[in-house]
Structure 1
Amino acid sequence: MSFEKIHQFNFPTTIRFGANVVKELPAYLKANNLKAPLIVTDPNVAQLPFFKEIVADLRKNNISVEVFSDIHKNPVKSDVYKGVDLWDATNRDSVVGIGGGAGLDVARAILLRINHREDLFKYDDLIGGDIYVTNDVPHFITIPTTSGTGSEVGRSAIIADDETHQKKILFSPKLLAQTVFADPVLTMNIPAPITAATGMDALTHNMEAFLAKNYHPICDGIALQGMKLIHESLETATNKPDLESRSKMLLGSIMGAIAFQKGLGVVHSLAHPLSSLLDTHHGLANAVNIPYGMEFNIAGFEDKFRTIARTLELEKDNGEAVVQYLFDLNSKINIPHHLRDIGVKMEHVETLADLAFADFAHPNNPKPVSREDFKQLYLKAL
């Protein structure tokens, strides 16, 4: 397949995929009579040459641009409120989210709040708040800059409470982007450590979605192909990136996010507290924890692990081979094998276990996970 060519997929969002497809953005906005987008991104992306080029290209086409980038690495409610204040003050007509998970989460939460002005966490999906998402939302476009979260094709945003750091999920099919411009060229210059961490995040999404206990054979098929693409490309994309490896990683990331509507599991519940308590990068938290979480899941699900092992073309088709593969892959892309290497200390374990047990992801794990299980997993990974 040529990665120079632009392709279009619909799942159900329209995805424009291919090298330099982002150059279609000005014409797309004009065709939809949109003249004043609020561009939401994170402070790092806002400084990058490609981002400045996107903004300059829009202005050259007489499109009024406001940029909001005052957000935290792990977004909090006040970030969203500040973004909506800018929307109100500058008379915008659409939202364009550009970035990785943080930028796209804040963009989606701003999108929700524009026409839903009660407390943001009233809309928390974990307490049934999605039923209050009743009004229309503005036109929404997403442009991913990493191959990790797959937030560009999502319909939810994870935002933490400023004080308690507890993560809430804002969810509604209304929050799907109308169009995604997935341009692998934008991911070409991401530093190797971020490529590695976000890539392992994407692999975790596919692997956990495939194992999740809900019945969804469509997601299972997508997850397996997503794993295959990441297996073929992550090491190259990290250590010696080219257009093919970056394209496969971006597709694998998108597929993981489509697949995990089926659910996630124990690895994400291990990872989320590291971000909220210690501000650990989400992808890195998943990367270090995934071998331990997968090992926990093997017993009783040997058939599923056999399928994963065959998809990854491993010599032995069993769960132990999958776990060893994950450790080996982490080594090849310079991700440590232990939590102590990313700032976790023994005194954090009890609090992490509490937060992990309270997390929303593990109820979809193929087997139940107790608080004691989480504690033992953290101790093993430490």
Structure 2
Amino acid sequence: MFQFMTSTRIIFGEGALQSSLSVFNQFGYSVLLVSGQNMDRARPVIEYLKAQNMRYQHVAIAGEPNITMVEETALVGRKFKPDMVVAIGGGSVLDMGKALAAIIPNQGDVYDYVEVVGRSVPIKTKPLPFIAIPTTASSGAEVTKNAVLRSGQDQVKVSLRSPEMLADVAIVDPTLTYGTDRLTSGRGAMDTFTHLMEAYVCGDPNPLTDMVCEEGLRRLNRSLFAACLEDDYKARSDLSFAAMLGGMAITNAKLGAAHGLASALGGKLDAPHSVITARLAPHVMRENVVAAESQGRKDLLSRYQKMAAILSDDPKAAIEVGITWVENVLNRLELPQLRDFGVCATSFDTVVDDALKSVAIKGNPIPLTKERLMFILKQVCDCRGECETSSASVGLAESQLIHSSRPRVTTNTSKLNN
């Protein structure tokens, strides 16, 4: 027995944005628009809102959202009283929009609703209608039911989560990803991979998520380099589709230790979530395989072998081939090492303790001990067990995060008095 949920309506394909802008009118005439600081890709949306004489307020964010950022922007949003939230941008922008759609109509603060560091109170009032328009092929946030937020005071990343937060409309137009720089493309592609990989081998998969993950891995494998390194348009479409499948997979299956550790590290390092999970992935895969072998988990080993076969186009590929594929891709895409962000200056004891509290790590197919998680961190640090980790955190304080990434809010006043 299983269930499967995703966005109410998905519109996918080249040119999907221009052909679907009229869906805004179905939800009212007042729009809270969320985008990144670079508004080039959001321009068609802004032009449409102006052409329709729609009332809108524009929030432009930089970096990954934090809880205080959501709370402050929600206060502004409540005064504006939007009929809907439209978010166009990368995963962080979509998470910000998703969080605002949920928080604006609900009482209290964000800590009432977030997991782990908050009270985890279920959202009582239905979120505002939410339209998600991704401009990167990465997290699949357009079809997920959670928003990842940084808690500066706790120095962890946590989720605001509810099935009610699934987008009413997801418009996935691969043309919006054309011309994305190599680093952003590579980070996004590996974010997609860690979603597909962990959902495929997690402790609670189902036949439908298995199909989704396998197809996502196939498309990712055949398109990754052509999309990220050559900006090939057909490959960009494949990558966008794979990213969407990754979002569907983690909404309906579970994650694992890579995301559990990343949630703990993400609040302590000024590093993109996608880079953290990607660099953790091969080490977590190896630890899970070692644990599966010691416990005779043939079912789990079979999944890792099937994944290796898909990634190598060799049905008889050994499990290690799949792990090596990940390492080779990380190096060819030139994703930064975590030691470049100061991972070796963090307290691994604190990181592991925080990770063990995360929701994501509970989905790992085999429980990993604190010692094995410490070993993974030391492998990522490349200190081979010889480094001395300090208790000093290299995380950014909440006040620093707010100062560096405070949203820019502008309002179209053409219809404010109507």
Question: Secondary structure at 1:142's aligned position in 2?
Answer: strand
Call closer, same or farther: CA 1:333–1:215 in 2, change over 3 Å. closer
- Contact 2:156–2:266 (8 Å) recurs in 1: no
Measure, in 1, the Cα distance between the counterparts of 2:305 and 2:178.
33
Measure, in 1, the Cα distance between the counterparts of 2:199 and 2:367.
16
Question: Secondary structure at 1:97's aligned position in 2?
Answer: strand
Measure, in 1, the Cα distance between the counterparts of 2:80 and 2:345.
48
- Contact 1:184–1:250 (8 Å) recurs in 2: yes
* Equivalent position of 2:13 in the other structure: 18
Pairs within 5 Å for 1:72-111: 73-111=63-101
Measure, in 1, the Cα distance between the counterparts of 2:33 and 2:125.
22
- Contact 2:202–2:255 (8 Å) recurs in 1: yes
Question: Secondary structure at 1:210's aligned position in 2?
Answer: helix
Measure, in 2, the Cα distance between the counterparts of 1:166 and 1:347.
13
Q: Residues 137-175 of structure 1: CA distance to partner in whole angstroms, max 9, x if unpaired?
A: 222110011111111101111223232223332222211
TM-superposed deviation, 1:123: 1.8
* Equivalent position of 1:326 in the other structure: 326
TM-superposed deviation, 1:347: 4.8
Question: Secondary structure at 1:160's aligned position in 2?
Answer: strand
Question: Which of 208, 221, 224 is matched with 1:218 structurally?
Answer: 208
Question: Which of 137, 147, 150 is matched with 2:140 structurally?
Answer: 150
TM-superposed deviation, 1:128: 9.8
Measure, in 2, the Cα distance between the counterparts of 1:62 and 1:186.
24
Q: State yes or no: 1:35 paired with 2:25.
A: no
Q: Residues 241-294 of structure 1: CA distance to partner in whole angstroms, max 9, x if unpaired?
A: 122111111111110111113100011122223321012101111121111111
Call closer, same or farther: CA 1:288–1:33 in 2, change over 3 Å. closer
Q: Residues 203-254 of structure 1: CA distance to partner in whole angstroms, max 9, x if unpaired?
A: 1100000000114121111011111111111111110012211111111111
- Contact 1:268–1:361 (8 Å) recurs in 2: yes
- Contact 1:74–1:275 (8 Å) recurs in 2: no
Measure, in 2, the Cα distance between the counterparts of 1:89 and 1:134.
20
Unaligned runs of 5+ in 1: 1-9
Measure, in 2, the Cα distance between the counterparts of 1:215 and 1:333.
29
Question: Secondary structure at 2:132's aligned position in 1?
Answer: strand
Measure, in 2, the Cα distance between the counterparts of 1:131 and 1:218.
29
Measure, in 1, the Cα distance between the counterparts of 2:24 and 2:44.
16
Question: Secondary structure at 1:345's aligned position in 2?
Answer: helix
TM-superposed deviation, 1:362: 1.2
Unaligned runs of 5+ in 2: 293-299, 382-418
The one-letter code of the counterpart of 1:143 is I
Q: Residues 313-345 of structure 1: CA distance to partner in whole angstroms, max 9, x if unpaired?
A: 344522211111111111221125x43244322
Call closer, same or farther: CA 1:314–1:352 in 2, change over 3 Å. farther
Question: Secondary structure at 1:135's aligned position in 2?
Answer: coil
Question: Which of 280, 283, 288 is matched with 2:274 structurally?
Answer: 283
Q: State yes or no: 1:118 paired with 2:108.
A: yes
Pairs within 5 Å for 1:1-382: 11-30=6-25, 32=26, 34-43=28-37, 47-70=38-61, 73-126=63-116, 132-260=122-250, 261-299=252-290, 300=292, 301-315=300-314, 316-336=316-336, 338-382=337-381
The one-letter code of the counterpart of 1:276 is G
Measure, in 2, the Cα distance between the counterparts of 1:37 and 1:22.
16
Q: Which moved more, 1:136-145 or 1:53-62?
A: 53-62
Call closer, same or farther: CA 1:70–1:201 in 2, change over 3 Å. closer
Call closer, same or farther: CA 1:70–1:335 in 2, change over 3 Å. closer
What number of residue pairs does the alignment pair up?
A: 367
Question: Secondary structure at 1:317's aligned position in 2?
Answer: coil
Measure, in 2, the Cα distance between the counterparts of 1:290 and 1:166.
19
Measure, in 1, the Cα distance between the counterparts of 2:265 and 2:75.
30
TM-superposed deviation, 1:121: 2.0
Question: Secondary structure at 1:213's aligned position in 2?
Answer: coil
Question: Secondary structure at 1:167's aligned position in 2?
Answer: strand
- Contact 2:140–2:246 (8 Å) recurs in 1: yes
Question: Secondary structure at 1:54's aligned position in 2?
Answer: helix
TM-superposed deviation, 1:311: 1.6
Measure, in 2, the Cα distance between the counterparts of 1:202 and 1:298.
21
Question: Secondary structure at 2:343's aligned position in 1?
Answer: coil
- Contact 1:353–1:372 (8 Å) recurs in 2: no
TM-superposed deviation, 1:61: 2.3
The one-letter code of the counterpart of 2:190 is M
* Equivalent position of 1:3 in the other structure: none
Question: Secondary structure at 1:177's aligned position in 2?
Answer: coil
Measure, in 2, the Cα distance between the counterparts of 1:247 and 1:147.
9
Q: Which moved more, 1:12-21 or 1:199-208?
A: 12-21
**Sequence identity percentage:** 25
Measure, in 2, the Cα distance between the counterparts of 1:357 and 1:363.
8
Measure, in 2, the Cα distance between the counterparts of 1:369 and 1:156.
25
Measure, in 1, the Cα distance between the counterparts of 2:353 and 2:286.
21
Measure, in 2, the Cα distance between the counterparts of 1:235 and 1:94.
37
